[in-house]
Amino acid sequence: QFCPTKAEARRSAAKIALMNSVFNEHPSRRITDDFIEKSVSEALASFNGNREEADNPNTGIGAFRFMLESNKGKSMLEFQELMTVFQLLHWNGSLKAMRERQCSRQEVLAHYSHRALDDDIRNQMALDWVNREQNIPGALSRELAATERELDEARLAGKELRFHKEKKDILLLAAGQLGSAHSSGC
């Protein structure tokens, strides 16, 4: 809704957040066997996959099933946070690096399925961007500009903003680390 002041917008956003959290914690919003079967079937239909793909943990749909099954009983809100972690790991190149180190999908999923999106993960990703910037000057500012455009587009389209917001926060954290390194003479 349109809010004439920032204070009203904050109150409105807080009410919506409260309603969403109550809704997402409702027992009907928990990951169950029925939910997993329905979700996997929809994924197979969307990607013209076959049933064998869903049972093979080395395929994308198989990994999706594995993630759902390993989160059985959790709320959709908890699962959404986990998916944001994996989106960030993919965006940051961490998943590719783990694959190059011969880590299996199951090992990666098992490790990160129990990690919340916290300051440690954000700091590690920011350090990756600091290193990237030092190797390819301008990479950070280009990625930040692209991320801000994506955030604006998602906001205007009414899409979920968490992934884009986290990307921006990580990039700003990296820029701050670079700025403090430059100002301290490093």
Whether residue 88 is found in the same domain as residue 67: no
Q: Percentage of the chain surpassing pLDDT 90?
A: 34
Stretch 22-34: mean pLDDT: 74
**E strands of 13-109, at which residues?**
none
Stretch 103-117: mean pLDDT: 79
135 to each of 93, 95, 126, 129, how far by Cα in Å? 15, 20, 14, 10
Task: State the total domains in the chain.
Answer: 2
Residue 2 pLDDT grade (very low, low, confident, very high; cuts 50, 70, 90): low
Whether residue 132 is found in the same domain as residue 175: yes
Classify the C-alpha dihedral 163-166-172-175 as positive or negative.
negative
| pLDDT score at 60 | 80
**Rounded Cα distance, 146 and 166, in Å:** 14
Q: At a CB cut-off of 8 Å and minimum separation 6, what does 91 contact?
A: 163, 167
Q: Would the pLDDT of 36 be above 80?
A: yes
Domain that holds residue 105: 76-181
Whether residue 30 is found in the same domain as residue 84: no
Whether residue 25 is found in the same domain as residue 82: no
110 to each of 64, 82, 102, 104, 159, how far by Cα in Å? 13, 12, 15, 10, 28
Classify the C-alpha dihedral 22-28-33-38 as positive or negative.
negative
Whether residue 123 is found in the same domain as residue 51: no
Q: Would the pLDDT of 182 be above 60?
A: no
